[in-house]
Structure 1
Amino acid sequence: MAGDIQVLEFNDPRVQQLMQAGYFVVGESWGARLRLSDPPDLSACTAAIVAARQRAFIVQELDARWAPQVTALETLNHADYPNTPATAVPDRDESDVRELWKSGHRFFGAIKAGQLVAVSVIGVTLARAETEFTSVDPSCRRLGLAVAVKAASINALAADGIRTFGTGGAQSNAGSIRMNEHLGYVIEERWLSLAPPQ
């Protein structure tokens, strides 16, 4: 059935046609953009990083020596990612994580007592910087760490001249939506995944 799933923007006229034909929604997803001014106002990002540091977390860019801990964190959190036809998350092993570094992605983490507890990974396309994933250890959630590590990635790439940032995810992940809105992202696209009648 997966091959027959249609992923369409929610306002696409084909959505109504397919639903009238018996298709049904099996997933909702979104895309958001952060468009910085020039010079950029990074006060929200800086405040998020400061708040994490006040809780005794180190927030910094990571080099490839952190690959084992990034992989372990992704493995720990894999089952928690909402899984829709448009937002399927790969089951990454350490070689996959290292490949992201090799392809130019940058990693930003929150560390406590030498242990990586949050990470955000971002890459640069021709049009913008795009978040690959953001992950937080379950024991450290709701402490602002997702916001802090993503803020660190925005600050770093803004210093390199990037002014447009993209991200996205499943509509069911309310925490991700709130985190991105806190940093100034605005949802600009919404998609529906539609499955054919059984």
Structure 2
Amino acid sequence: MGETKVLPADAPEVAELEAQGWRVTAWSFGAQLDVDRIDRQRLQSLVDRTAGTGTTRALGPDDVDAVLRLDALTVHDYPGGVATQHTPLDHRTATPTTTRPAFGTVTPDGELVAMTFVDTDGPHAETDFTVVQPRLRGRGLGQAVKAASVLALADTGTTRFRTGGSAENTAIAAANAALGYVRDEEWVTLEPRPR
């Protein structure tokens, strides 16, 4: 099998490759939220409604072991192939920093049940990944941790937020929409047909 290609869905090369026998194996998207479009009250309500599960807050060095446990539990949950794959965290990459902050929901007994990591570059931020403990999915925890990240980073000067994911992941698409992200990119992953 040849190499995999990830291209904008509307790129002329997509039709050319399909004519040569390549096939689309996955769809992914990008979305943006600018600070002037943030509905702070709405985002805060998304954070607050998870209070029955735990506390949603910034994560720090003391949370690394919990981050690694949740990452290991969810490492195979990323749909969409090469465009949205996730590299398992190690101690270094699981440690939040000023340019790679993380936010999570922690239960009263100390279990980390949702988290999001964000890469920042000056006034711009891009969500790296967001995951939720499988037994607690569908309760708004993904929305809560993403909302907490947007609120905190907007308070420290971030003006543009980017995120994305697999088009197969309806939960993250719904979370992004709830926060006010606007989808502005569509990507396809193509692979040559087996011979």
Structure 1 and Structure 2 fold alike (TM over 0.5) = yes
CA distance in 1, matches of 2:53, 2:25: 41
2:106 aligned residue = 111
TM-score by length of 1: 0.91
Aligned partners of 1:83 and 1:89 also within 8 Å: no
Identify the residue that residue 43 of structure 1 maps to in structure 2: 41
Partner Cα distance (2:122, 2:13) in 1: 30
CA distance in 2, matches of 1:29, 1:56: 30
1:88 maps to amino acid: Q
Q: Which has the higher helix share?
A: 1
Does the C-alpha gap of structure 1 residues 156 and 102 become closer, same or farther in structure 2, counting only changes over 3 Å? closer
Q: Which moved more, 1:11-20 or 1:85-94?
A: 85-94
Aligned pair count reads 193
1:143–1:84 Cα change, 3 Å: same
Match of 2:174? 178
> Could you tell me which residue of structure 2 aligns to residue 91 of structure 1?
88
State the one-letter code of the partner of 1:129. Answer: A
For residues 112-131 of structure 1, the C-alpha deviation after alignment (integer angstroms, 9 at most, x for no partner) is: 12111111111212461111
Which TM-score applies when normalising by structure 2?
A: 0.93
Q: Deviations over 1:28-50 (max 9, x none)?
A: 11111111218x53122101011
Unaligned runs of 5+ in 2: none
Structure-to-structure mapping, 1:9-88, within 5 angstroms: 9-37=8-36, 40-53=38-51, 55-88=52-85
For structure 1, which runs of at least 5 residues remain unmatched after alignment? none
Measured in 2, the distance between the counterparts of 1:188 and 1:111 equals 32
CA distance, structure 2, for counterparts of residue 175 and residue 12 of structure 1:
27
Is the partner of 1:85 in helix, strand or coil?
Answer: helix
Paired amino acid for 1:45: L
Question: Displaced runs of 4+ in structure 1, greater than 3 A?
Answer: none
Query: Structure 1 residues 127, 22: closer, same or farther in 2, change over 3 A?
Result: farther
Letter in 2 for 1:75: A
Distance 1:9 1:96, change over 3 A: same
CA RMSD of aligned residues (A): 1.6
Deviation sequence 1:13-59 (CA, Å, 0-9, x none):
11111111111011111111111218x53122101011111x24111
